[in-house]
Amino acid sequence: MVANEKHGNYPFQSWGIAGRDDAEFTLTLGHPVQIDELVIVLRADYPHDSHWTSITVTFSDGSDAVLHLQKTADPQHFAIAPRTITGLKLTHLVKDKDASTFPALTELQIFGQAE
C-alpha cells in the first residue's frame, strides 16, 4: 500500500529532511543484490509539499547515479546499469525552488535479484 497524497498519521508515512541541506538517506540491504531499477515515490501533499528535482544515489560499489525527479504523486521509475550492491545512499537532495519547504520520500523500491 502506498499512501502519499497527504501527510501525518498512518497510512501517510514518509521521510522528510526537516529543512536540512545536508540530509542523507542510507539503506543497507544485508546481502549482495544485483539491481537494475529504482523507483521513487515522493510525498505529494501539494501544495503543502515541495519535491526534489534531483537526487544523487551512491551505491555501495562506489558508483553513483543522478536521478531527475518530477512533481508527481506517481511512482518514478529509473532504469540503471546493472550492478551488485549491498546498500545505497541518497544524497544531494536538490529541492525545487517553489515556496514550500517540505519535500519528502514516501517509498524507495529497488528491483533486481539476490546474488
Q: Tens digit of pLDDT for each residue in 84-105?
A: 999 999 999 999 999 999 999 9
Query: ∠ at Cα 103 (4, 7), nearest 5°?
Result: 35
Any bridge partners for residue 95, and if so which? 52
User: Would the pLDDT of 45 be above 80?
Assistant: yes
- Could you give the CA distance from residue 24 to residue 8 in angstroms, rounded to a whole number? 21
Domains in the chain, please, with CATH? 15-114 (2.60.120.260)
Per-residue pLDDT, 60: 98
Cα Rg of the chain, angstroms: 14
Place of cell 519547504: 101
| Tally of CB atoms within 10 A around 51 | 22
pLDDT higher than threshold 80 for residue 115:
no
User: Whole-model pTM?
Assistant: 0.94
pLDDT at 1: 81
Name the average pLDDT for the chain. Answer: 95
